[in-house]
Structure 1
């Protein structure tokens, strides 16, 4: 999606990637188009990377504080952090399971802390949007007495419950906006399917639809993000 944003704006974009791998980020940024010499400063290509471990709420807060101090607005937030493991509950020093921390708590710490900057862009009638890429609409019933999955942890619950949490958070956001919706703002939670492997892969003989959705959102994710207000 970052590549698409850079391409569709012909490099006239300020894009900040967040993640753990500096080398991977450098390769991605190197593929972005650059604006020519003489382009107005406000339209010049500005690409950067901030290293952050999304399983650490302390690091997430440091990054959101940094961005809040350095930026005067944000048009789009795309939250897609994930954590894959076959281990059982794996607590961080903060007492949160790392998978849960990454897939839910971190993304909404980012969104909550940076939302005021998105509002500033919306106040200028600029296109804005917040997107969560996870498994929208595919959650499960939750245990209100075990929201942190301390009593009954499993990989399935760590995934499905976080989907429900994510959907609920976006519903709350949409219900708040519905009182005074902005035509320039979109809050979208999506499920993009499994990324397309090589053709004729055995997996796709059984679930061929996932390739279509993965490609569609990867290629046109920025277009989807910029559409009108979309509910779950």
Structure 2
């Protein structure tokens, strides 16, 4: 559980050991994604950052701010509504045209949907943003992540530690949907899928992280300006500034505390651990095991018995098989 001081020391050391870094931020045009991209631009001498989002005006503004903060960096905005898997494929195609390898895939899309709304592809909009489109980005960009000289990392910012009961015949929430189920299923599927992916791709580390209560536009986008403003005020004493969230997320994205299961080069695990910082325990219970379920402080938030039970029922593999089947059904191209 690194302190903020330890986080900042690690982030300061990032640039000295890693002058170049290629990162993709999905949901990078507001809130946590934007804040983390800005911290990366400050820490790395010559970063390459691709921002994927719907809002072109916000994307342009952020690109200008990134260039002002780091004139040596390369910054690109990809306009895309990633609630549609077809659009995810198009965004990934552009990234593959531009890059031969990726060091970081950081995803923070979605919100707290209070009602179900299906896309034209037949999936719940917010379930796509919080699960399917994220996994489609991972699926499409794994060859580039695997090509990284290391460390390569996938970070999914959502609700780590808030996993719960899910039914095998309702992974896509078409059989039954409630507000609570939508949140529980998204959290649980993220953790199970990333654990499977870490086993199948041992040179890449996979992190599902809970950001805590962050002073972001989420409340207003979910509950409207008035109610969202009231909730933001009420949560202020226990909430985290966006800048601090960005710092903490940069740490989990780059620190050697979260290594892959089988690194290509054991000397390149990430920013070396400072005093008092230890290698994290993976969701499987293994120190440095490659898949991590993290709380807002960067510490292990795994619900061990729940994950053990799911593992005994082969749910990590079942979730990923369902995900691939969903891709095939929706995209009809695989």
TM-score, normalised on structure 1? 0.82
Q: Unmatched 5+ residue regions in structure 1?
A: 36-43
Contact 2:37 / 2:246 at 8 angstroms: preserved in 1? no
**Aligned-pair CA distance for 1:79:** 0.9
| Residue 188 in structure 1 maps to residue 212 in structure 2 | no
Is 2:49 aligned against 1:6?
A: no
Match in the other structure for 1:120 = 147
Indicate yes or no: 2:145 matched with 1:145.
no
SS of structure 1 residue aligned to 2:198: helix
Aligned to 2:12: none
> What does residue range 50-89 of structure 1 map to in structure 2 within 5 Å?
50-87=78-115, 89=116
Distance 1:28 1:66 in 2: 19
Q: Answer whether contact 1:83 1:98 (CA < 8 A) is retained.
A: no
Q: Tell me the CA shift for residue 201 of structure 1.
A: 3.7
CA deviation vs aligned residue, 1:130-184 (integer Å, no higher than 9, x gap): 100001120220011222211211121111111100000111122334xxx44xx
CA distance in 2, matches of 1:155, 1:117: 35
Tell me the secondary structure at the aligned position of residue 18 of structure 1: strand
Alignment of 1:1-232 (within 5 A): 1-10=36-45, 12-32=46-66, 33-35=69-71, 44-87=72-115, 89-121=116-148, 124=149, 126-177=150-201, 181-182=202-203, 185-196=204-215, 201-205=233-237, 208=238, 210-211=239-240, 216-228=244-256, 229=259, 231=282, 232=293
Indicate if the aligned counterparts of 1:82 and 1:102 stay in contact, CA closer than 8 A: yes
Aligned residues: 209
Question: Secondary structure at the residue paired with 1:83?
Answer: coil
Q: Distance in 2 between matches of 1:190 and 1:19?
A: 20
- Conserved 8 A contact 1:131-1:190: yes
Q: Give the whole-Å Cα distance in 1 for the aligned partners of 2:156 and 2:100.
A: 22
> 2:80 touches 2:91 (CA, 8 Å); kept in 1?
yes
Aligned to 2:28: none
> 1:14 aligns to what SS in structure 2?
strand
* Aligned-pair CA distance for 1:215: 5.6
CA distance in 2, matches of 1:112, 1:129: 13
- Equivalents in 2 of 1:119, 1:227: separation in Å? 18
TM-score, normalization: structure 2?
0.58
**Rounded Cα–Cα distance in structure 1 between residues aligned with 2:131 and 2:52:** 16
CA contact (8 A) 1:217 1:224 kept: no
User: Structure 1's 116 and 51: CA in aligned 2 closer, same or farther, altered over 3 A?
Assistant: same
For 2:90 and 2:51, locate their aligned partners in 1 and report how far apart those are by CA, in whole Å: 15
